Structure 1
């Protein structure tokens, strides 16, 4: 890259003017509930004051437009000695410096509006943050490249040297194999249909209905209308229909979000691209990855389909959970996949398992709680329907037994692997040097049986990512803890 190009961001710059739209959108989001409350309280009065209604809306629009323009005008950024500096704020001026040693990941996103103007949205993630430390809503692709280079997430391309002096014939080298994989359309459909996101959609529908419930009750008796036209028995079919619609919406949203999912290894960095309407690119340095998290949900596990996640301080979701590295990998191809893209992490061939004395500890609390619910249900629910409550303890026994069967661990050189789950299966591959802290604890019930719970914490976002092995023998827990602090011990054996 030429010096003139690299020096462009050393002086203060403002975002592209189109970013005013995004700042206005943020203002609309912040004032959404007051605006809705104002409109509803005005419209549903007995005597509507139209001047008050349209005047209030006009004032709010002027306020939001003014805030958007001032926010854009007061927002400046530039590069200063390998760090990114951002100054922003209308009334309270905030100054922020981001140095390359703090950066965990840099994301770029191109939405529909960005594509029209040839722009990108850039987000800088740092360790310990709940949200991106810096968000540049609208910058050019060249500026994004300069910021990536300055923050150490992209190599500077060397210009080709042209000379008239004859050069010696170079020794031919084998071209490096490009480590790149793209999610096929068939795998995208499989991933979307088995994602289990229907619960999220139903939660959104339920939240929206709860917000409008009081207004709907006053204006329209929906369930009374449905019962009158369809009959009470048909309400069940309506609920089934709504569940199917929610599932189809979940499939649609997941497909749009993960469309064209591409993973590429460039040097020591992973580049992830995905999205149909909003194309997102994330760069994650390999050395920032704390662990690999393999997830098989109840729908994919019978077919040997695994979703590969990573735990990273910069590329993670809320509350420290792991983020997707690749949506769908077949179990038989998993070892080769990890060798290509995360060579420091290896699958465990053998697992140490819990002994039989741990089984009762898994079942004790869930079975007692479900029995406490089932007994009153049998007594108080009429028409003998309460006996169906006995299914709860049976499900608790099944769930506890699956958790017992899933729990395991394995030591491989400088890596510990942990397995847990019930209907879903989770496998965590953690290098010893990535463990931030570990704790061996015992509850009152565990002390009597000489059992313990081993907790492991990794750096991930604002909160640490926590993984655990429950109800393992105390002596084995001590051996694993000793191994984690660096002392040489014999690998813990399977408990009895």
Structure 2
């Protein structure tokens, strides 16, 4: 058992820094309101300075107590965290329950040269559980190496245990040991894929130790074969030129709306009422050409702003392999290094934006089973679509980039167009009622919505290959999702009477996380029944031909 370890001493400054960060906007607004019509001589500097000194002293004292009372200990099969000033908390995290140990550098830690270690476990929400907020980079790497060694030790135990069961003590044969309880053999790859994903967190420390000499010797040999420094290789890096292209090809419309809303709110808070009302009345008198120019300028500014934020987020993007784990690191101001095991990947999403699709590029995300309710990692922000199969083979070999083999028939085109046209008609009617003649420009939404529906129909489809389901759909960007059958919780098949008369059905695939649920509308009935039969088949069974899979139910569950 190791000795208790404390965080870095600079952790004492964290309560003070958090308070300053939260009080800066409030202090700015209060200062502007207070100084409106007053001079600096009217400010009670003496009392203000005294209050600031007292507040800083209390925060530093609180930070010292938090640092003094925060210790963690690496034990044989767990990490023990003790923390709390007024109320003590003791958290034991067993290595068999740890998904990964991620190193992050938020802005404060990056400025101080420290690292935050986040321990991912099932059932814990973001912000809780095992977080070591201030350690050195070398200490963070030591913790990650300790976790990998513990994981390999458990795997070595599982590999050696069957050999120990086959040869009993004193040379007895297996038949002579019927009184001894047998230890289950390790999972084969086939059986491992068919279990529920949450069963990957099974704790193997509670299995009785081996008592045979051969088993003990094999375990000792396997443990000593674990290298102190695991093999580390770089799978891919994002160059500066590729990062710039990725940033410029990912416009964010929501950021433009937030940008305009922030300017309006900021002006409402700071500008005098008379000036604000005057500007608002002047804006109402602008000509349509001026409004178009303002809208175009806002889009350009938001586009450039989103490119800057994208660059800050993904600067230095690197994917590495640490033994059997994958590490993804990126960030300019806040550096993050996230680790995950390929076998914990629930699904993979390939997203082709409108601009990127023209040039044959896409972004690849992996959805991983972690402590957070919805967690995904960017595996590559800008990759040629032709290079995606090779990337999946190197990082997640259980997934493959399969092409779409079944698409919605032409008679289901109305299902993709109707709601988009209805929404565009409602928006146009509202604009014409409010803006009068200027609102007639909104009628352009009708052909755009019709084209949008046709594109959605053309690009949708699915494919079933082995134990993988591939679903492709389009909202604005085209998204292709690869899902393994063991990760599907439920499958819903639905269709109205009119749709069933036309031989059409809709499919919804439900996963552990709602973020990666997928749906597809207006498919051929035979195709949906084949997918349902594929989902229901047991080990060793073959998929029945399309149309002979039995009656279609509303919800099918494992």
With structure 2 as the length reference, what TM-score do the two structures score?
Answer: 0.72
Distance 2:87 2:32 in 1: 34
User: Does residue 430 in structure 1 map to residue 425 in structure 2?
Assistant: no
- Checking the alignment, whether the CA contact within 8 Å between 1:19 and 1:138 is kept in structure 2 is yes
Q: Name the counterpart of 1:397.
A: 450
Deviates more, 1:114-123 or 1:326-335: 114-123
Alignment of 1:182-201 (within 5 A): 182-197=237-252, 199-200=254-255
Q: Name the counterpart of 2:279.
A: 224
Q: Name the counterpart of 2:353.
A: 297
C-alpha RMSD of the superposition:
3.6
User: Does residue 455 in structure 1 map to residue 508 in structure 2?
Assistant: yes
* 5+ long unaligned stretches in structure 1: 1-6, 158-175
Deviates more, 1:177-186 or 1:59-68: 59-68
Q: Name the counterpart of 1:146.
A: 142
Change (3 A) 1:101 1:397: farther
Deviates more, 1:413-422 or 1:329-338: 329-338
Aligned residue for 2:355, secondary structure, equals coil
Distance 1:56 1:447 in 2: 73
Change (3 A) 1:385 1:478: same
- Checking the alignment, whether the CA contact within 8 Å between 2:232 and 2:323 is kept in structure 1 is no
State the shift of 1:102 in Å. 2.7
Distance 2:495 2:35 in 1: 60
Change (3 A) 1:198 1:475: closer
Query: Which of the pair has the greater relative contact order for Cα pairs under 8 Å at 6+ separation?
Result: 1
Q: Name the counterpart of 2:84.
A: 89
Q: Name the counterpart of 1:13.
A: 5
Q: Name the counterpart of 1:334.
A: 388
User: Does residue 344 in structure 1 map to residue 403 in structure 2?
Assistant: no
State the shift of 1:373 in Å. 3.6
State the shift of 1:140 in Å. 2.5
Q: Name the counterpart of 1:489.
A: 543
- Checking the alignment, whether the CA contact within 8 Å between 1:411 and 1:491 is kept in structure 2 is no
Change (3 A) 1:63 1:210: farther
State the shift of 1:62 in Å. 4.4
Aligned residue for 1:454, secondary structure, equals strand
Distance 2:448 2:105 in 1: 46
Aligned residue for 1:121, secondary structure, equals strand
State the shift of 1:16 in Å. 0.5
Change (3 A) 1:296 1:129: farther
Change (3 A) 1:90 1:277: same
Aligned residue for 1:101, secondary structure, equals helix
Distance 2:135 2:546 in 1: 54
Change (3 A) 1:377 1:36: closer
State the shift of 1:299 in Å. 1.1
Distance 2:10 2:463 in 1: 53
Deviations 1:280-329 (Å, cap 9, x if unpaired)?
A: 2111111111111111111100100011110112397xx62633111111
Distance 1:470 1:446 in 2: 10
Change (3 A) 1:221 1:360: same
Change (3 A) 1:380 1:25: closer
Deviates more, 1:143-152 or 1:58-67: 58-67
- Checking the alignment, whether the CA contact within 8 Å between 1:216 and 1:222 is kept in structure 2 is no
Deviations 1:1-41 (Å, cap 9, x if unpaired)?
A: xxxxxx5xx33322101122333333345556765665556
State the shift of 1:393 in Å. 2.4
Q: Name the counterpart of 2:120.
A: 125
Name the structure with the higher strand share: 1
Alignment of 1:105-120 (within 5 A): 105-110=100-105, 114=109, 119-120=114-115
Q: Name the counterpart of 2:464.
A: 411
Change (3 A) 1:373 1:330: closer
Deviations 1:44-93 (Å, cap 9, x if unpaired)?
A: 58795525655555555445444433333332222233222222233333
User: Does residue 276 in structure 1 map to residue 329 in structure 2?
Assistant: no
Kindly tell me the number of residue pairs found equivalent between the two proteins: 460
Change (3 A) 1:475 1:64: farther
Distance 2:441 2:336 in 1: 48
Alignment of 1:219-258 (within 5 A): 220-221=275-276, 224=279, 237=293, 240-258=296-314
State the shift of 1:220 in Å. 4.8
- Checking the alignment, whether the CA contact within 8 Å between 1:82 and 1:151 is kept in structure 2 is no
User: Does residue 467 in structure 1 map to residue 518 in structure 2?
Assistant: yes
Flag the structure with larger Rg. 2
State the shift of 1:421 in Å. 0.8
Deviates more, 1:451-460 or 1:321-330: 451-460
Q: Name the counterpart of 1:166.
A: none
* 5+ long unaligned stretches in structure 2: 154-230, 548-558
Change (3 A) 1:178 1:66: closer
Change (3 A) 1:379 1:285: closer
Task: Select the residue among 245, 262, 273 that pairs with 1:207.
Answer: 262
Change (3 A) 1:401 1:457: same
Distance 2:19 2:61 in 1: 10
Deviations 1:348-388 (Å, cap 9, x if unpaired)?
A: 13421011232112222222233234345445643x33332
